Amino acid sequence: MTNRAATRAREAATLLFVPGDRPERFAKAAAAGAGLVVLDLEDAVAPDRKDYAREQVGAWLEQHPECAVRVNAAGTPWHDEDLAVLRQRRCTVLLPKADPASTRTAAGQLGVLPVLVALVETARGVLDARETAAVPNVQRLAFGSFDLAAELGADPADRDALAAARGALVLASAAGGLPGPIDGVTADLHNELLLTDEVQYARRLGFTGKLCVHPKQVPVAAAALRPTREETRWARSVLDAAGDGGAVAAGGQMIDKPVLERAQRILRQAREGIGR
């Protein structure tokens, strides 16, 4: 189970949040086609509903361990109890306000081989993202754009204000041997053009996933994460020109090992339906 959960955490392109205190929505979220459903114990649940949400999430996981759970952040009254319920469950755990110290501590509390996604959403977390990515069992980084923007006093929709933070997560992921990170949510539930544009922007930076807060965002984000037809055609032409290997020139472009690896990655994503 752990290996499957780790693979799912590394490869999921769309992650759909559902409030942990709304069990009547769990099945609908599971049927929405997201790469990973995230039962949320944190922001989506009021303080007086935390215990109820934890009970409902625990009950659902008994039959559906393939889900993920976002726990409450370290330092809150609910963090340790959340981890106790999830200890050795072998589900994916999203750790909010992640930094190296809190991530290592949570990994120890969760028991053997936890599957972790570190949600980086503070200035300290961004600056220490490379160290967080190196914590054993962290499979991926995710970007908490709204919390970080609030800390910085910036508009979360301002790409320039958050560009350095996004770039830091992409670099930390690559340096740690992790897949590209998961981008933060798009709050506007009705603007598909905006969602597509934001996903395509993040993808150009090196992100490989998107956090979603409504089922209807899932197929839109998934489509925007897939390689375009132009990219796929280019990748096929590169592989055809490369033949058995070695640096060659094709169409005025030098095809060497980095170019070939990019082409292979694009075709692999196209075959696997990355974004589904």
Residues 172 and 241 sit within 8 Å (Cβ to Cβ): no
Tell how many helices (H) and how many strands (E) occur in the chain.
13, 10
Residue 192 assigned ligand-binding role: no
Strands (E), 41-156: 68-70, 92-95, 115-120, 138-143
CA nearest to 13, candidates 226, 217, 208: 208
Backbone region of residue 220 per phi and psi (left: phi > 0; alpha: psi in -120 to 50; beta: other values) = alpha
Residue 147 assigned ligand-binding role: yes
| DSSP-derived 3-state class of residue 122 | coil
- In angstroms, the CA 25 to CA 21 distance is 9
Residue 70 assigned ligand-binding role: yes
Question: What is the length of the chain?
Answer: 276
Residues 220 and 192 sit within 8 Å (Cβ to Cβ): yes
Q: Which residues are annotated as a binding site?
A: 70, 121, 147
Feature table: binding site for Mg(2+) = 121, 147
> Annotated binding site for substrate, which residues?
70, 121
